[in-house]
């Protein structure tokens, strides 16, 4: 079955370390997204990418970086510059036509201590 795979489900890091969250999709979708979810804050857009080798900052991009070298993959790096990195991170994808349903992965819960 097609879908989005995020790994790992739980991730623990020490403060000051960079950490990369994986997101892979086999839906043949062109657009991919990263959202951060905190209690009471909804889903906040970090980065999104419409095509390979191109991506745009979302509303809370500071302290994060991404790459889009392959259509199937959109890894997110949480850098040490992110002041409050502990959160639930969701990856999503959408067909190229736009205004199509977002398909979400099951998320990665990152805890930084």
- We find the least distance from the C-beta atom of residue 8 to another protein, in angstroms, to be 15
Cβ nearer to another protein, comparing 48 with 64:
48
- We find the least distance from the C-beta atom of residue 104 to another protein, in angstroms, to be 4
Give the H or E element holding residue 21: strand 19-25
Query: Which residues lie near another protein (CB under 8 A)?
Result: 31, 33, 35, 40-45, 48, 50, 56, 58-59, 90, 94, 97-107
Cβ nearer to another protein, comparing 18 with 100:
100
Cβ nearer to another protein, comparing 30 with 80:
30
- We find the least distance from the C-beta atom of residue 75 to another protein, in angstroms, to be 18
Question: Residue 49: is it exposed, middle or buried by C-beta count within 10 angstroms (0-12/13-18/19+)?
Answer: buried
Give the H or E element holding residue 110: strand 108-112
């Amino acid at each position: 079955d097609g879908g989005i795979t995020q790994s790992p489900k739980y991730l623990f890091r020490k403060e000051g370390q960079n950490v990369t969250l994986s997101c892979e999709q086999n839906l043949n979708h062109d657009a991919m997204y990263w959202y951060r979810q905190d209690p009471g804050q909804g889903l906040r857009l970090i980065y999104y990418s419409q095509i390979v080798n191109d991506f745009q900052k979302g509303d809370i991009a500071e302290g994060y970086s991404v790459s889009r070298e392959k259509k199937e993959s959109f890894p997110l790096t949480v850098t040490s510059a992110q002041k409050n990195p502990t959160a639930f991170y969701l990856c999503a994808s959408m067909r190229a036509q736009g205004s199509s349903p977002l398909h979400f992965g099951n998320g990665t819960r990152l805890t930084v201590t």
